[in-house]
């Protein structure tokens, strides 16, 4: 599916926390793994190049240091475009350690202009930089029955197929009203709730030839998804984010942004 995994770094421990996942994905098919460091002044290039070379050597990756006096996000996207079918894998915050909602975030601008899925991870500053590659065994696709979330379905299924993982399709159902409970038996309510997600899971499994599981969750979507992930680390979430400006989406608390902050695993995300 992807010919290269490109990991933008800024020299901070925060930006490095995506590396174990990127290395684990690259190991499945010996996919090219490249670490990218972008600097805006020539005086910093030698030091930055030495940093990324040393880190790349430790992870059996390629290193690339680019001088870009202008927009860092555009430099990242330009490098991504140099090699078709590149997966961008990056953290949602970097050197400053500030939240991804900050105006001017490189991650937000990359997400907005990438034109396809981007693998994002919210760092916590506690991960061991010597962590071994993470083998991802599950891709969890969150659907809500709407067209925006469905735009991620094919990407999630192909991603699971690419890394030989199973596809877990989930849908979060709000608490039923008293009228709904009165009109349907428990069995009927369960069947109604699960029919959509069960049907989509079977369709995706048949279309893409992946092993599928499905489940219906209940309650607040972000909380339910995060609790369903639990302590698992061998999983990637697959979700769409809102079409409006990414800063607005993060501030308003979209489900995808909330899951990115709280689930503790990477999120394969895209605009609908």
Strands of 212-218's sheet in order across: 62-67, 32-39, 4-9, 86-91, 118-121, 267-270, 235-240, 138-143, 166-173, 212-218
Q: Which residue has the higher pLDDT, 191 or 34?
A: 34
Identify whether 107 is part of a domain: yes
Q: Provide the pLDDT confidence category of residue 183 given band limits of 50, 70 and 90.
A: low
* pLDDT, position 187: 53
β-bridge partners, 143:
171
One domain for residues 116 and 8:
yes
Structure tokens at 45: 């290039």
* Stretch 220-245: mean pLDDT: 88
Mean pLDDT for the chain overall: 86
240-272: per-residue pLDDT in tens? 986 545 444 544 348 888 899 899 999 999 987
Structure tokens at 54: 């040393």
Identify whether 181 is part of a domain: yes
One domain for residues 142 and 256:
yes
Q: Considering all CA atoms of the chain, what is the largest pairwise distance in Å, rounded to the nearest integer?
A: 71
Instruction: Check pLDDT > 50 for residue 118.
Output: yes
Provide the domain limits for residue 101: 4-121
One domain for residues 160 and 232:
yes
* Whole-structure pTM value: 0.88
Query: Cα–Cα distance between 138 and 165 in angstroms, integer?
Result: 5
* Stretch 103-113: mean pLDDT: 76
User: How many domains are there within the chain?
Assistant: 2
One domain for residues 252 and 156:
yes
* pLDDT, position 97: 43
Q: What are phi and psi of 12, to 5 degrees?
A: -100, 160
One domain for residues 104 and 150:
no
Structure tokens at 269: 């995300």
One domain for residues 149 and 239:
yes
37: CB partners within 8 A, 6+ apart:
8, 9, 10, 11, 48, 49, 51, 52, 63, 64, 65, 66
Q: Look-up: residue for tokens 């489900």?
A: 255
One domain for residues 104 and 184:
no
CATH of the domain at 197: 3.40.50.620
41-50: per-residue pLDDT in tens? 999 999 999 9
């Amino acid at each position: 599916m992807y010919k290269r995994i490109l990991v933008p770094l800024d020299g901070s421990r925060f930006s490095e926390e995506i590396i174990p996942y990127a290395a684990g994905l690259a190991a499945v098919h010996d996919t090219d793994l490249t670490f990218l460091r972008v600097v805006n002044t020539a005086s910093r290039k030698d030091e930055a190049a030495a940093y990324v070379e040393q880190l790349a050597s430790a992870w059996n990756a390629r290193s690339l240091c680019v001088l870009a006096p202008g927009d860092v996000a555009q430099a990242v996207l330009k490098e991504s475009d140099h090699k078709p079918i590149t997966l961008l894998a990056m953290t949602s915050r970097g050197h400053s350690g500030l939240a991804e909602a900050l105006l001017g975030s490189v991650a937000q601008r990359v997400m907005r202009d990438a034109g396809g899925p981007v693998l994002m991870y919210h760092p916590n500053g506690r991960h061991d930089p010597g962590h071994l590659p993470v083998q991802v065994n599950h891709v969890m696709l969150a659907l809500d029955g709407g067209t925006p979330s469905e735009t991620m379905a094919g990407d999630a299924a192909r991603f699971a197929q690419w890394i030989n993982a199973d596809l877990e399709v989930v849908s979060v159902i709000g608490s039923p009203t008293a009228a709904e409970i009165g009109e349907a038996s428990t069995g009927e309510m369960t069947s109604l709730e699960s029919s959509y997600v069960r049907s989509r899971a079977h369709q995706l499994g048949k279309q893409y030839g992946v092993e599928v599981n499905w489940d219906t969750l209940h309650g607040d979507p972000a909380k339910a998804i995060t609790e369903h992930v639990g302590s698992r680390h061998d999983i990637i979430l697959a979700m769409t984010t809102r079409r409006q400006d990414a800063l607005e989406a993060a501030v308003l608390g979209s489900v995808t942004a909330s899951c990115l902050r709280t689930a503790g695993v990477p999120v394969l995300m895209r605009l609908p």
